[in-house]
Amino acid sequence: MDRRGTKRKMENVEVAEPRNKLPSPAPSMSTDPALYSGPFPFYRRPSELGCFSLDAQRQYHGDAQALRYYSPPPTNGQGPNFDLRDGYPDRYQPRDEEIREGLDHLLHWLLDHRGQLEGGPGWLAGAIVTWRGHLTKLLTTPYERQEGWQLAASRFQGTLYLSEVETPAARAQRLARPPLLRELMYMGYKFEQYMCADKPGSSPDPSGEVNTNVAFCSVLRSRLGSHPLLFSGEVDCTDPQAPSTQPPTCYVELKTSKEMHSPGQWRSFYRHKLLKWWAQSFLLGVPKVVAGFRNPEGFICSLKTFPTMEMFEYVRNDRDGWNPSVCMNFCAAFLSFAQNTVVQDDPRLVHLFSWEPGSPVTVSKHRDAPYAFLPTWYVEAVTQDLPSSPKTPSPKA
């Protein structure tokens, strides 16, 4: 499908600047959902290439040490009664959000594994490398009415790297985050602690600390339309009882949400929250999201499993619902737009794609700080083992 779909979309690219003003045109791209309906594009079943873990000090380990095991409460009679506020703030070690990690951990993994990548020679040179979370934001863009985004893009040895930049508005909001919102963030992580065990057979231990430096990340290969993808996403846990033990199909995403009482509340949940849950889990191939619903006192009293592939059914007949085809077609069109815009191969050059709700995606060009994001250690290591690097004398020379 995608050939035709993408071409049609590229015709919507408008020249925003007068032609006589700039040496290169400054195109922009509409995010209107009406432009992206049509058949669902090709999306390759995501396959796991590897994984890595970040420890309590946010240090990288090339293994699954941070992976946790899905361990829901027994279903005998009464439901759960998880106090999500327990341990706040005394047993909370939040990650330092001032530290801009960019793609660094993913690049660490890639540096260690670039020699063993499947897909044949040159696969990586044709791929897009990014975080799953960045792709999630692209998927939901046609329906987003509140938060904009900025994505920095650099091409290096063919590969297009995409790394999010925190918008000034997002930074301001983060620095002014109300205490209640901080506690709500903690509660989401606390729910994971009630639902996960450290080892396959054992039970959750909610007595310990909640440390959000710790993360298990899966690294996957996929393709959207004509765009080969290598991306990584944080995974909450694996289900030892899953029908298939093969990742990512054994993975489970855990979420919390406010208890709902009226049909209107459920409708709004399907329209907004379920879209974000679907986009995040669909991209990585996570088959189910287990939701815990919290009451006003901060206790989880009920659980509900949402199979990722059934989420769209809740809005299929809703005029104000979302459509997976629109999400995926927009993402494919954006990736084509980015591929066509970032022509020069230069790790110090950044094309910054910016979007605010109600406006098209725009582009600006930058060199070095503060936008360049490919670290020197990565660029130098990859440059050194180019097959015909002029800097490296061949052993025979």
Q: Do you find a cis peptide bond into 248, omega within 30 degrees of 0?
A: yes
Contact with ligand GDP (CB under 6 A) among 28, 53, 71, 136: 136
Q: Which tokens in the block code for residue 351? A: 């094309």
Residue pair 108/58 in contact by the 8 Å Cβ criterion: no
Contact with Mg ion (CB under 5 A) among 254, 279, 291, 363: 254
Contact with ligand GDP (CB under 6 A) among 183, 234, 259, 356: 234
Give the CB-nearest residue to ligand GDP.
133
How many Å apart are CA 84 and CA 160, to the nearest integer?
41
Among ligand GDP, Mg ion, none, the one that 342 touches (CB under a kind-dependent 5 to 8 A) is none
**Does the protein bind ligand GDP through residue 63 (CB under 6 A)?**
no
Residue range at the interface with ligand GDP (CB under 6 A); choices 61-69, 128-136, 195-203, 369-377: 128-136
Is 140 or 329 the residue whose CB approaches ligand GDP more closely? 140
Contact with ligand GDP (CB under 6 A) among 36, 70, 109, 131: 131
**Does the protein bind ligand GDP through residue 133 (CB under 6 A)?**
yes
Distance of closest approach, residue 105 Cβ to ligand GDP, in angstroms: 6
Among Mg ion, ligand GDP, none, the one that 131 touches (CB under a kind-dependent 5 to 8 A) is ligand GDP
Task: Return the residues of window 94-113 that contact ligand GDP according to CB under 6 A.
Answer: 97, 105
**Does the protein bind ligand GDP through residue 215 (CB under 6 A)?**
yes
Residue pair 253/288 in contact by the 8 Å Cβ criterion: yes
> Residue 123: which of 49, 206, 214 has the closest Cα?
49
Among ligand GDP, Mg ion, none, the one that 141 touches (CB under a kind-dependent 5 to 8 A) is none
Among Mg ion, ligand GDP, none, the one that 233 touches (CB under a kind-dependent 5 to 8 A) is ligand GDP
**What 8-state DSSP symbol labels residue 3?**
H
**Does the protein bind Mg ion through residue 236 (CB under 5 A)?**
yes
Task: Return the residues of window 280-309 that contact ligand GDP according to CB under 6 A.
Answer: 280
Determine how β-strand 251-258 pairs with β-strand 288-294: parallel
Q: Binding-site residue total for ligand GDP (CB under 6 A)?
A: 11
Among Mg ion, ligand GDP, none, the one that 254 touches (CB under a kind-dependent 5 to 8 A) is Mg ion
Residue 390 CB-density burial (10 A; 0-12 exposed, 13-18 middle, 19+ buried): exposed
Residue pair 41/1 in contact by the 8 Å Cβ criterion: yes
Q: In the beta sheet, which residues pair with residue 61?
A: 53
Residue range at the interface with ligand GDP (CB under 6 A); choices 126-134, 255-263, 363-371, 389-397: 126-134
What is the number of residues in the chain? 397
**Does the protein bind ligand GDP through residue 217 (CB under 6 A)?**
yes
Region for residue 119 given its phi and psi (left: phi exceeds 0; alpha: psi -120 to 50; beta: otherwise) = left
**Does the protein bind ligand GDP through residue 68 (CB under 6 A)?**
no
Among ligand GDP, Mg ion, none, the one that 236 touches (CB under a kind-dependent 5 to 8 A) is Mg ion
Distance of closest approach, residue 254 Cβ to Mg ion, in angstroms: 5
For the chain, strand residue ranges (E) read: 14-15, 27-28, 47-54, 60-61, 69-70, 82-83, 92-93, 128-131, 149-156, 159-165, 196-197, 210-211, 215-224, 227-234, 237-238, 251-258, 288-294, 299-307, 349-355, 362-367
Distance of closest approach, residue 280 Cβ to ligand GDP, in angstroms: 5
How many Å apart are CA 20 and CA 12, to the nearest integer?
21
Residue pair 121/316 in contact by the 8 Å Cβ criterion: no
> Under the rule (CB under 5 A), what is the footprint of Mg ion?
236, 254
> Under the rule (CB under 6 A), what is the footprint of ligand GDP?
97, 105, 131-133, 136, 215, 217, 233-234, 280
